[in-house]
Amino acid sequence: MSADLLSHRERAGMPMSEFKLKPSERDDLVAYAKFLRETLGLQPELGMRVQLEARTRGREIRALVGRPAQTVTLGWWEDDMVDGVCTCAAESDCVHCLVLAEHLVPVQEASKGKVIPAASSTTARIRSVLKRPLSKEERAYVDQMEAILRTVGFYTRMTVHQVYPLAVDPPKSPGYEVLAKPVESPTPPKDAIELWHAARRALAAVRLRTPAFMEEVATAFPPPPVWVEAWRQEDVKVWMERLRRDANSLSLLQPWSKVTEPP
Ligand SMILES: [Zn+2]
């Protein structure tokens, strides 16, 4: 039997000693519970039953919560943040997740007034802007952002090809000239949202759009000022050129007023 599985004592709801939660893990659970209560405004019913099932791979805690019982998994899937998924209709960040988090870290400890740490995971930052849990599709999109950020190191120069999955409904077979367009940022992106800003700009240049739920996120977490300034100058240069070109081509045209009517 796996050492990860809980003893009968703990199955019966006894203290969690065998989980050996590290202080940092307790802090993460407190922060997660606080996020669910205060930011999402969740209020679980009193006395919801928790039956701990297993701690798997050391980074996930699974339990049955409530009646009818839902299977809840809390995990450290992204850095030092806890995320929760559930079999209920809400799918994630629900009352069942809250009940389990507060079961693992007793409420007295949770109410000591700990300050929620600066959200470090992309999902947590986006949730804090949207003030609601992410849908399954949105989570998948954020996972995609994270995955691209992880691979950035392999590319000395990114192209639209690498960030193509971040476009909404892109054409199945775009031309090479689209995929080869550079994705540029004045300094290397330091997180997934910064990477997304660079991707968004490159995708917009080839007339591809990014999903609407990211608009609020883009406003709350704008690109670094140095990027905005560099991009502003780039844009000014491009549109000044266009204005000059347009002015030249316009001057070749006869003004409308001078066009002579056919006899
Ligand atoms: Zn649930």
pLDDT at 27: 85
For residue 89, the CA-to-ligand 1 centroid distance in Å is 7
Residue predicted with more confidence, 58 or 179: 179
pLDDT at 199: 96
Entry pTM: 0.52
For residue 165, the CA-to-ligand 1 centroid distance in Å is 29
For residue 98, the CA-to-ligand 1 centroid distance in Å is 9
For residue 31, the CA-to-ligand 1 centroid distance in Å is 18
For residue 48, the CA-to-ligand 1 centroid distance in Å is 12
For residue 68, the CA-to-ligand 1 centroid distance in Å is 11
pLDDT at 223 > cutoff 90: yes
For residue 120, the CA-to-ligand 1 centroid distance in Å is 24
Q: Where are the alpha helices (DSSP H) in the chain?
A: 8-11, 23-34, 95-104, 107-110, 122-130, 136-152, 160-163, 176-179, 192-205, 213-220, 225-252
For residue 69, the CA-to-ligand 1 centroid distance in Å is 9
pLDDT, averaged across the chain: 81
What Rg value do the Cα atoms of the chain yield, rounded?
Answer: 26
pLDDT at 115: 39
C-alpha distances in angstroms, 144 versus 39, 62, 63, 244, 256? Answer: 25, 25, 28, 41, 52
Rounded to an integer, the average pLDDT of 33-56 is 86
For residue 208, the CA-to-ligand 1 centroid distance in Å is 35
pLDDT at 4 > cutoff 50: no
Question: Where residue 7 falls among pLDDT bands split at 50, 70, 90?
Answer: very low
pLDDT at 172 > cutoff 60: yes
pLDDT at 157 > cutoff 90: no
Rounded to an integer, the average pLDDT of 48-67 is 87
